[in-house]
Amino acid sequence: MPWQNLTPMEEINRFVVLAQSGRFSVTDLCEQFGISRKTGYKHLERYAALGLAGLRPRSIAHTFAAAHGGREPEKGSGVPGRDKRRIFGRNIVVDF
């Protein structure tokens, strides 16, 4: 029998199908798939709410933009001279 190469999406689908079958407890399935129960229940809730579309990976980029008012974070640390004399390695602020 050849090796099976499963994508994370296929693994999540398999987890949900086995959980919906009722043959295994969610705790046992989470142990078998190597995920936490919190993650297992998250996948089941998303499947119940949105079907297979809810199991696709989600981007968190929109939450970052919303948290910052849709703008990039301000540059500069507030320490004068720090941005001018930036060195690699340990960050040191030196008064010249």
pLDDT digits (tens, 9 = 90+) for 47-87: 999 998 888 888 777 666 666 665 555 555 555 555 555 55
> Between the CA of residue 92 and those of 20, 36, 51, 76, 80, what are the distances in Å?
56, 41, 52, 15, 12
Task: Write down the pLDDT at residue 61.
Answer: 72
Task: Write down the pLDDT at residue 38.
Answer: 95
Among 59, 52, 11, smallest CA distance to 35 is for 11
pLDDT category at 89 given cuts 50, 70, 90 is low
Task: Write down the pLDDT at residue 49.
Answer: 92
Task: Write down the pLDDT at residue 72.
Answer: 56
pLDDT category at 45 given cuts 50, 70, 90 is very high
